[in-house]
């Protein structure tokens, strides 16, 4: 397994599934191109250049470019867009416009391991990036420079900034520096190097604040996501979500010719690139771009996969430029549609429909708001017939929550769906899946990362609320640990989803809940949205609409 806290990649022999929604042989249904930014403060309220922009192409349409003032806002909105696509069974490609790797040897020098994902982990641990964009990227650049004798290799900073380890110009550097450029930059020589931190066209700062952002996305979607090429090899990937490095200027001429009047260049870049990648994929030609350039040595290919990464499309510029001339059109202007716009009315009508169509009468009064919320979260009234529960579930869970007990979640997406304003200040939400110790622990117990993360709940579990909305192995292992004498939580919310182990883990819980009040959705269905909806219902009933 590569890196510090990433699941292993699929086997080399896996084939790429043919998609029909985007076109025969297409890899993805949704193509998102992101122009990242390393600004040290929020971007202007009015959309501007040198900020975060992205565009989404789907179903033959590229939407108007979107703008975010902060990296946190961008991550939250991108996550929501990706989650909605994945929930609809769609595959998603997200391209970011900064290098995913450093030249050969840097990872081993900085963090002791010739592995790009280990370096990602190191960067993410050292970067502090606040919700207002304030960050310490030059301090981290200083730490990288301290790993080498002399001055460098990172360079470029405002003259007034007191960061002596980072020289203002490249010519001030000296010492045992690593290579100046990656292998891919011999194919795309106009691309700036990772070492330049400031001035026109620089990407060094974007790497230091961008890598933690992509790592966060990767972890939020866990087993559905892969980073190309570190987790896929130089081949077409088959994950539901693929995160890749792109270089928008591969299409510089097309961008110049298609930039609209008064359109900000950053917006034009993401729009045109999203269009091009979507067109290529619809024509069944995108897969070739994942194999990198022709003529690379086996050693170079290994370096690319383990340390340096590759620009998607580099070496295949002719293919990229020949993307279908059929232009995707912006979302058309349509006559205003008639629909309910009042949030309170939407919730009220939704719950009325659920009460009318679902068979709620078999549930006690205090459980009916929870079941209603579960149905509302997934839009399927039939799940009411699949709910299994202990009679004292609501009472015990309510008492625990009101006493300030922690909420233990198996994944970040469950935590993201919990409406925290409805909780007390003592209700700590804990997710241990991305703890650095988890990968090694998973190896030791010979189980998944999700199961290993449960091991870290030991000091918090007594009297806690356990919420499992993703991994069957987390629920199975929790039951095993209770059998070994672990303290008991106040309640278990069992909603793992999937085809392998989901139904079985919930059946095991219902058959023997180990004296713990529980609720579970029998069968394969479940998921993070349903799990977090159950918590929200326990806390706020139907009055808190989120």
Residues designated catalytic: 376
Residue 511: which H helix or E strand, with range?
A: helix 502-511
Structure tokens given for 537: 């219902």
Strand partners, 227: 243
Degrees (nearest 5) of the Cα angle 536, 537, 541? 125
H and E: helices and strands count for the chain: 19, 13
Give Cα separations from 174 to 123, 142, 149, 191, 212 (angstroms).
23, 15, 8, 22, 29
Taking the CA of residue 202 as centre, how many other CA atoms within 13 Å lie in the half-sphere pointing to its CB?
18
- H or E element that contains 111: helix 106-111
Assigned token pair, 100: 């995913």
Helices (H), 358-471: 368-378, 393-402, 412-417, 438-445, 449-455
Spatial CA neighbour of 43 closest among 133, 127, 137: 133
Q: How far is CA 208 from the centre of its chain?
A: 17
Q: In the numeric block, which tokens belong to residue 534? A: 């159950």
Interatomic CA distance for residues 490 and 464, integer angstroms: 5
In DSSP terms, which residues pair with 55 in a beta bridge? 33
Q: Which helix (DSSP H) or strand (DSSP E) does residue 62 occupy?
A: strand 61-62
Contact 109, 148 (CB under 8 A): yes
- Asked if residue 490 lies in contact with residue 399, where contact means CB atoms within 8 angstroms, the answer is yes
In the numeric block, which tokens belong to residue 253?
A: 């001429």
Strands (E), 97-173: none
Give the residue carrying structure tokens 């979107």.
66
CA distances from 129 to 53, 346, 513 (A): 18, 37, 42
User: CA–CA separation, 256 vs 237, rounded Å?
Assistant: 31
Distance in angstroms between the alpha carbons of the first and the last residue of the chain: 39
């Amino acid at each position: 397994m590569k890196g510090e806290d990433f699941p292993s990649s699929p086997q080399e022999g896996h084939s790429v599934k043919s998609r029909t929604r985007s076109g025969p042989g297409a890899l993805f249904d949704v193509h998102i191109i992101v122009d990242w930014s390393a600004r040290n403060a929020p971007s202007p309220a009015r959309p501007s250049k040198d900020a975060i922009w992205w565009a989404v192409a789907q179903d033959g349409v590229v939407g108007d470019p979107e703008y975010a003032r902060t990296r946190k806002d961008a991550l939250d909105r991108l996550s929501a867009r990706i989650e909605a696509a994945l929930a609809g069974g769609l595959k998603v490609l997200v391209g970011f416009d900064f290098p995913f790797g450093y030249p050969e040897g840097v990872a081993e020098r900085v963090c002791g391991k010739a592995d790009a994902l280990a370096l990602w982990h190191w960067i993410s641990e050292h970067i502090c990036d606040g919700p207002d964009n304030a960050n310490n990227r030059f301090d981290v650049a200083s730490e990288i420079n301290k790993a080498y004798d002399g001055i460098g290799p990172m360079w470029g900073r405002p003259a007034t900034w007191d960061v002596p380890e980072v020289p203002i110009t490249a010519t001030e550097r000296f010492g045992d520096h690593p290579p100046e450029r990656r292998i891919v930059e011999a194919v795309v020589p106009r691309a700036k190097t990772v070492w330049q931190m400031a001035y026109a066209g620089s990407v060094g700062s974007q790497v230091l604040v961008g890598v933690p952002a992509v790592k966060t996305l990767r972890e939020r979607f866990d087993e559905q996501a892969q980073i190309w090429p570190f987790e896929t090899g130089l081949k077409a990937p088959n994950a539901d979500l693929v995160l890749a490095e792109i270089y928008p200027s591969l299409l510089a001429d097309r961008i110049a010719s298609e930039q609209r009047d008064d359109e900000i260049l950053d917006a034009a870049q993401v729009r045109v690139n999203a269009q091009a990648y979507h067109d290529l994929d619809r024509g069944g030609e995108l897969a070739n771009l994942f194999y990198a350039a022709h003529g690379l040595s086996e050693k170079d290919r290994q370096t690319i996969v383990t340390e340096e990464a590759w620009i998607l499309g580099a070496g295949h510029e002719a293919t990229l430029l020949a993307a279908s001339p059929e232009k995707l059109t912006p979302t058309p202007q349509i006559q205003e549609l008639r629909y309910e716009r009042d949030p309170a009315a939407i919730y009220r009508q939704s719950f009325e429909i659920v009460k009318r169509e679902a068979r709620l009468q078999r549930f006690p009064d205090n459980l009916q708001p929870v079941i209603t919320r579960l149905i509302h979260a997934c839009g399927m009234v039939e799940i009411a017939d699949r709910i299994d529960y202990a009679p004292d579930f609501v009472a015990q869970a309510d008492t625990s929550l009101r006493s300030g007990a922690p909420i233990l979640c198996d994944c970040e997406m469950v935590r993201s769906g919990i409406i925290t304003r409805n909780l007390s200040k003592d209700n700590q939400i804990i997710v241990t899946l991305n703890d650095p110790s988890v990968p090694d622990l998973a190896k030791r117990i010979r189980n998944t990362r999700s199961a290993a993360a449960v091991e870290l709940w030991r000091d918090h579990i007594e009297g806690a609320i356990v919420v499992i909305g993703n991994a069957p192995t987390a629920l199975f292992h929790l039951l095993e640990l209770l059998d070994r004498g672990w303290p008991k939580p106040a309640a278990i919310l069992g909603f793992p989803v999937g085809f392998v182990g989901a139904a079985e883990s919930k059946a095991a819980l219902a058959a023997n809940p180990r004296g713990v009040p529980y609720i579970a959705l029998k069968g394969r269905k479940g998921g993070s949205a349903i799990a977090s909806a159950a918590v929200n219902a326990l806390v706020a009933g139907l009055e808190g609409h989120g």
